[in-house]
Amino acid sequence: MALYIAAPALAAPPATIEFNRDVRPILSDKCFACHGLDAKKRKADLRLDMAASATADRKGVRAVVPGDLTKSALWARVNETDPDEIMPPPETHKTLSAAEKEVLKKWIEQGAKFQLHWSFEPVRKVEPPKTSFPTWIGS
């Protein structure tokens, strides 16, 4: 049963990456303590939840360059091996899994589209996922 519950976390990322569904949870867990909304704790004046900040040019360096992994400092820093350069820093005791890195990679490659917090996004109709559960479950 535990493997069945964990299966979604082990699965490949979806074909189309959505910021709120796929990227924001990773950044929130691993990055927002230093690069989130709290201006007093923010490092390098970088906010990763806002497109304008994440894509801004800072002395020739941009954290996120939509569509270009080689120019995206975020991608370089999460793959760094130097403990002084890697993100998140070792002292945070947070690390990105290979699956989380793959989501970030695909997101940047797909154009790094940002979304407002879900509560500010317009309501949209979504199709419920198809399941293999018997039809009587959940009725």
105-132 pLDDT tens trace? 999 999 999 999 888 888 888 888 887 7
Q: CA-CA-CA-CA torsion for 82, 84, 89, 95, nearest 10 degrees? A: 0
42 and 36 in contact (C-beta within 8 Å)? yes
Is residue 133 a part of any domain in this protein?
no
Reported as a pLDDT band with limits 50, 70 and 90, residue 8 is low
pLDDT in tens, 77-104: 999 999 999 999 999 999 999 999 999 9
Is residue 139 a part of any domain in this protein?
no
Q: What residues have CB less than 8 Å from 17, skipping those under 6 apart?
A: 23, 103, 106, 107, 110
Helix (H) or strand (E) holding 25: helix 24-30
Cα–Cα distance for residue pair 11/99, rounded to 1 Å: 8
Is residue 103 a part of any domain in this protein?
yes
Is residue 3 a part of any domain in this protein?
no
Q: What residues have CB less than 8 Å from 12, skipping those under 6 apart?
A: 102
Q: What is the pLDDT of residue 49?
A: 94
Report the 10 Å Cβ neighbour count for 103. 20
Q: What is the pLDDT of residue 47?
A: 95
3-state SS assignment for residue 62:
strand
Range 58-62 average pLDDT: 95
Q: What is the pLDDT of residue 126?
A: 83
Q: Please tell me the total count of domains within the chain.
A: 1
Full domain range(s) for residue 39:
15-117
Is residue 110 a part of any domain in this protein?
yes
- Residue 42, both tokens: 């923010």
User: Residue 1 pLDDT more than 80?
Assistant: no
Q: What is the pLDDT of residue 9?
A: 53
19 and 107 in contact (C-beta within 8 Å)? yes
Is residue 2 a part of any domain in this protein?
no
Is residue 138 a part of any domain in this protein?
no
User: Residue 135 pLDDT more than 80?
Assistant: no
Is residue 82 a part of any domain in this protein?
yes
pLDDT in tens, 10-29: 567 788 999 999 999 999 99
| Model pTM score | 0.80
Q: What is the pLDDT of residue 121?
A: 86
